[in-house]
A and B are shown apart, each in its own frame.
Chain A
Amino acid sequence: MSGSAVYALTGITKSYPGVVALDGVDFSVFENEIVGLVGENGAGKSTLMKILIGLVQPDGGTMILRGSPVSLKDPADAIRYGVGMVFQDGTLVPNLTIGENLFLCHENGFEKLGFLSSRAMRKAAQALLRQVKVPDDVDTPVAEVAPAARQMVEIARLLWLSRLYQQRNPILILDEPTTVLTEGERDTLFAILNEIKREASIVLISHRLQEIVENSDRIVILKDGRNVTEVAAASARIDQIEQEMVGHAFSADRYREEEQREPGSREVLRVDGLAKRGFFEPLSFVVREGEIVSLVGLVGSGKEEVCRCLNGLSRADEGSVSLGGRKLTPGSPGDAVASGEGHIPIDRRSEGLALGMSVAENVNLLVLGRLRAGGLVSPSRERKNAEQWIRECRIKTPSAATLCANLSGGNQQKTVIAKWLSSRVKLLILDHPTRGVDVGAKDDIYKLIRRLAQEGIAMVVMCDTLEEDLGLANRMLVMKDGKLVDEVACPPRRKPGPRDIIGLIV
């Protein structure tokens, strides 16, 4: 950490419609260090990373790279300054070979009379792969290479590129590099990173605090788009970092706990011995009338896949899902919907709403059968139904005929909820219902969720923050590494704190 910063960002702000992603964040990278960046989902880590490599331009703040102020146009521009990122889902083109990917778009040095020398490229590629200890042949298409090796190939590419642009001490940004790795591969990764550290700086983002504490020199903690604190890894304790990440006190009654009801006695959802190989091990649970059950766990804990199996988007290997006493056909979203199951997806723009259709059309989509008069859908009934739900769900829209694409994120989400409400669902699966929604709309959504519960609808939720999970849920199911590890009751006014839970998750 000696000397001056290679890359220094000060007062960075960035807002998206309805949300402030970053609010005056400072972040520096020094020579030859590994700096860990931690924070809950939505704390602003990924936005900060995208700004570092020019994928996103900040609204305000200064960026000083290698001593001079910069504004980066795109990742290709960042590379010229020796700043590159290894993304979670990879940036290697799958149908090209390792060697072709290593030098993609920078083949000039291997060109003779317009033709590329495959021998020279192979030789250079082999040397690079040796440095990052990848045993695969350079002519293997990337699609056939294991995730661990792919990551190494990306790292090798970034190192080579910064050498090509004659940048000393490149900065490598790794986003959740260990989620796809086995234990052994993880150790290898960190061994190599520690070796690379001698000639580079590394920014490490991970949910696994253990590996951050063990492998970084310095840890920067973000919460709600602001810097919370910065600690030296040597003196850091995991529980202390957890505390900083989730914050302290709850704001009074943000989640309308007062309105939380006792679940009814009737079972709505019964999951029996459900398992899917490679994702989660056999698990069983029950959700009752009017009950809100929150599914918590890290990305990769298997909770997403459980939800996909519940709503039929994915097919479990064994076990069953029953709704109101009837077994659902595995892997059939149509059967799930027909049986009274609703799904509010994380990506409402692509999965939850038809953006090119009006609010009314979206709200009525599932109940057209009920709105018929003489065999045809009756426009007047359609309008009446839509207006009723727009009122009840407080959708702020100029008219029922407004296109959903023109609504704000919060009102789009309310439209999705209205669609399911009007179809009289029994069970609702809410996948990050308040993602990308501003504070006011969040409150409306919490109100709606409470009302749904009052009406007896059972709910399975996955939230953006642990706080929100705790605030909304009657009961919490904790998943870790594909196993259902614990169940925590969350009665109103006697809810456990985030700190009690995070230990179970990590």
Chain B
Amino acid sequence: MQRLTFLGAARRWFRRAGISGQLLSLLIVIAIFAIGTKGRFLSAANLQVILSLTAIPAIIAVGLHQVVVLGGIDLSVEGVVALCVVFVGLLLQNKLNTNNVGLWIIPVTLGIGGIAGFVSGVCNTRFRIPSFIATLGMSWILWGLAVYVSQGQTVALLDARFQGIVTGTVLGIPILAIIALALVLLLQAVQDHTRFGRYLYAIGGDEVLARQAGVKVEQIKIIVFTVAGLFYGLSALFLSTRLGSSQAITGNNLLFPAVTAVAVGGVALTGGIGGAKNAALGALIVTALNDGLILMHVNPYAQDAVNGVVLVAAVALTIDRRKLGFIK
């Protein structure tokens, strides 16, 4: 009996979790490349590369996906990361000036990201600007600031502590991947087992009904945008320390993989479906796909095209067309 209820609970969880399609896609990607590269894809070294390359897109995607669950979109990641990276370069021990704030850089980058997200959230809720425009505008404002503050230069970093974290491994697993996994599990637990999570999905399911039931919609939305900013800020810290240098363009080309990861993970663009685990799995699939294409020496431009197809196909499979009156 005990075992039966456990199985039942497991089945229920699996059915509701909505990740079976993603696990299947991942298996297919792995199978194709394992055969295509004659096993090289599955080598320990390559798996370590995949995990390490997945971590940062996963952190970004996990931050972004909650906005999508609300039924909105957040396009601010590139600007937020650019500005954070510039501050990392100027404040952490570097070759340009004598600053060295050490661990204090963590609250600084998280603060920049959090404030940016908070402002986007306020614009979206209080001033009723569509999230698409509020966050796109935010991205360009911060990008402009980043270039202005850094005067366009590249700053080499000297701090070894952070370098150790982002390049190190524990039992062969990259530390970054462990941090990303911990964040995913934490956020997933919050989504499944707290009132915040419940309200997040209620708003995504039907904002009018959620409001009618008494959900403080504006408050939840602002929190979601702020959390997204915090995740972008964290990823900026990892990105710049991994590169060992800081420049504004580090933020470029982060948005597309993140949105693709969110869509591939099964987070519906129409809102209300998909959690942190979906976003992270999506990031893993996209990274594995690109890694495999590189190993098979596919032309890089063709890889971009493949990613575009994957994004559109994933959205086609996940959106709930009943919710869309018009497609714009």
Q: Which residues of A pack against B, CB within 8 Å?
A: 74-76, 91-97, 100, 104-107, 111, 114-116, 118, 137, 139, 141
Taken together as a complex, chains A and B put the C-alpha atoms of A106 and B195 apart, in Å, by 9
Instruction: Name the residue of chain A whose CB is nearest to the CB of B323.
Output: A94
- B195 and A100 form a contact (CB under 8 A): no
Contact A105/B214 with A95-B273, A96-B198 known, Cβ cut-off 8 Å:
yes
Q: Which residues of the other chain, A, contact B199 by a CB distance below 8 angstroms?
A: 105
Contact A95/B213 with A115-B194, A116-B194 known, Cβ cut-off 8 Å:
no
- Could you list some 9 contacts between A and B, CB below 8 A? A93-B201, A93-B202, A94-B205, A104-B202, A105-B199, A105-B214, A111-B195, A118-B192, A141-B16
Closest-CB distance, B319 to chain A (whole angstroms): 13
- B195 and A76 form a contact (CB under 8 A): no
Taken together as a complex, chains A and B put the C-alpha atoms of A76 and B198 apart, in Å, by 18
Taken together as a complex, chains A and B put the C-alpha atoms of A139 and B16 apart, in Å, by 9
Question: Within B126-165, which residues are at the interface with A (CB < 8 Å)?
Answer: none
Taken together as a complex, chains A and B put the C-alpha atoms of A118 and B191 apart, in Å, by 13
Closest-CB distance, A77 to chain B (whole angstroms): 9
Q: Which residues of the other chain, B, contact A116 by a CB distance below 8 angstroms?
A: 193-195, 198
Instruction: Name the residue of chain A whose CB is nearest to the CB of B202.
Output: A93
- A118 and B16 form a contact (CB under 8 A): no
Taken together as a complex, chains A and B put the C-alpha atoms of A217 and B223 apart, in Å, by 50
Instruction: Name the residue of chain A whose CB is nearest to the CB of B195.
Output: A107
Instruction: Name the residue of chain A whose CB is nearest to the CB of B199.
Output: A105
Instruction: From A76, A104, A139, name the one whose CB has the most chain B CB atoms within 10 angstroms.
Output: A104
- A104 and B193 form a contact (CB under 8 A): no
Residue A96 contacts which of B189, B195, B201 (CB distance < 8 angstroms)?
Answer: B201
Q: Which residues of the other chain, B, contact A100 by a CB distance below 8 angstroms?
A: 198, 201-202
**B328 on the A face (CB < 8 A):** no
Q: Which residues of the other chain, B, contact A96 by a CB distance below 8 angstroms?
A: 198, 201-202, 205
Contact A139/B12 with A76-B212, A91-B213 known, Cβ cut-off 8 Å:
yes
Q: Which residues of the other chain, B, contact A105 by a CB distance below 8 angstroms?
A: 199, 213-215
**B204 on the A face (CB < 8 A):** yes
Q: Which residues of B pack against A, CB within 8 Å?
A: 12, 16, 189, 192-195, 198-199, 201-202, 204-206, 209-210, 212-215, 272-273
Instruction: Name the residue of chain A whose CB is nearest to the CB of B215.
Output: A105
Residue B209 contacts which of A93, A115, A118, A141 (CB distance < 8 angstroms)?
Answer: A93
Q: Which residues of the other chain, B, contact A107 by a CB distance below 8 angstroms?
A: 195, 198
Q: Closest 8 CB pairs between A and B? A: A95-B205, A105-B214, A93-B205, A95-B272, A76-B214, A115-B193, A104-B213, A105-B213
Taken together as a complex, chains A and B put the C-alpha atoms of A93 and B323 apart, in Å, by 13
Q: Which residues of the other chain, A, contact B213 by a CB distance below 8 angstroms?
A: 76, 91, 93, 104-105
Closest-CB distance, A143 to chain B (whole angstroms): 9
Instruction: Name the residue of chain B whose CB is nearest to the CB of A350.
Output: B325
Taken together as a complex, chains A and B put the C-alpha atoms of A252 and B12 apart, in Å, by 66
Q: Which residues of the other chain, B, contact A104 by a CB distance below 8 angstroms?
A: 198, 202, 210, 213-215
Taken together as a complex, chains A and B put the C-alpha atoms of A74 and B212 apart, in Å, by 8
Closest-CB distance, B203 to chain A (whole angstroms): 9
Closest-CB distance, B223 to chain A (whole angstroms): 14
Q: Which residues of the other chain, B, contact A91 by a CB distance below 8 angstroms?
A: 209, 212-213
Taken together as a complex, chains A and B put the C-alpha atoms of A116 and B191 apart, in Å, by 11
Taken together as a complex, chains A and B put the C-alpha atoms of A137 and B16 apart, in Å, by 13
Instruction: Name the residue of chain A whose CB is nearest to the CB of B9.
Output: A139
Q: Which residues of the other chain, A, contact B12 by a CB distance below 8 angstroms?
A: 137, 139
Closest-CB distance, B204 to chain A (whole angstroms): 7
Contact A95/B212 with A115-B194, A116-B193, A139-B12 known, Cβ cut-off 8 Å:
no
Instruction: Name the residue of chain A whose CB is nearest to the CB of B320.
Output: A95
Closest-CB distance, B207 to chain A (whole angstroms): 9
Q: Which residues of the other chain, A, contact B202 by a CB distance below 8 angstroms?
A: 93, 96, 100, 104
Taken together as a complex, chains A and B put the C-alpha atoms of A91 and B213 apart, in Å, by 8
Q: Which residues of the other chain, A, contact B204 by a CB distance below 8 angstroms?
A: 95
Closest-CB distance, B290 to chain A (whole angstroms): 31
Taken together as a complex, chains A and B put the C-alpha atoms of A114 and B206 apart, in Å, by 24
Closest-CB distance, A187 to chain B (whole angstroms): 29
Q: Which residues of the other chain, B, contact A111 by a CB distance below 8 angstroms?
A: 195
Q: Which residues of the other chain, B, contact A118 by a CB distance below 8 angstroms?
A: 192-193
Instruction: Name the residue of chain A whose CB is nearest to the CB of B198.
Output: A100
Closest-CB distance, B16 to chain A (whole angstroms): 7
Taken together as a complex, chains A and B put the C-alpha atoms of A111 and B198 apart, in Å, by 12
- A94 and B198 form a contact (CB under 8 A): no
Instruction: Name the residue of chain B whose CB is nearest to the CB of A110.
Output: B195
Closest-CB distance, A80 to chain B (whole angstroms): 10
Since A91-B209, A93-B213, A115-B189 are in contact, a sample of 10 more A-B pairs with Cβ atoms closer than 8 Å, ordered by chain A residue number, is: A76-B214, A91-B213, A96-B201, A97-B16, A104-B202, A104-B213, A105-B199, A105-B214, A114-B194, A116-B193
Closest-CB distance, B97 to chain A (whole angstroms): 42
Closest-CB distance, A413 to chain B (whole angstroms): 23
Q: Which residues of the other chain, A, contact B273 by a CB distance below 8 angstroms?
A: 95
- A95 and B201 form a contact (CB under 8 A): yes
Taken together as a complex, chains A and B put the C-alpha atoms of A467 and B316 apart, in Å, by 49
Closest-CB distance, B83 to chain A (whole angstroms): 32
Closest-CB distance, B321 to chain A (whole angstroms): 14
Taken together as a complex, chains A and B put the C-alpha atoms of A74 and B199 apart, in Å, by 19
Q: Which residues of the other chain, B, contact A93 by a CB distance below 8 angstroms?
A: 201-202, 205-206, 209-210, 213, 272
Instruction: Name the residue of chain A whose CB is nearest to the CB of B13.
Output: A139
Closest-CB distance, A318 to chain B (whole angstroms): 25
Q: Which residues of the other chain, A, contact B210 by a CB distance below 8 angstroms?
A: 93, 104
Instruction: Name the residue of chain B whose CB is nearest to the CB of A111.
Output: B195
Instruction: Name the residue of chain B whose CB is nearest to the CB of A75.
Output: B212
Instruction: Name the residue of chain B whose CB is nearest to the CB of A114.
Output: B194
Instruction: Name the residue of chain B whose CB is nearest to the CB of A142.
Output: B205
Taken together as a complex, chains A and B put the C-alpha atoms of A94 and B323 apart, in Å, by 11
Taken together as a complex, chains A and B put the C-alpha atoms of A105 and B213 apart, in Å, by 7
Instruction: From A91, A95, A100, A106, name the one whose CB has the most chain B CB atoms within 10 angstroms.
Output: A95
Q: Which residues of the other chain, A, contact B212 by a CB distance below 8 angstroms?
A: 74-76, 91
Instruction: Name the residue of chain A whose CB is nearest to the CB of B210.
Output: A93
Taken together as a complex, chains A and B put the C-alpha atoms of A276 and B198 apart, in Å, by 39
Taken together as a complex, chains A and B put the C-alpha atoms of A94 and B207 apart, in Å, by 11
Taken together as a complex, chains A and B put the C-alpha atoms of A107 and B202 apart, in Å, by 13
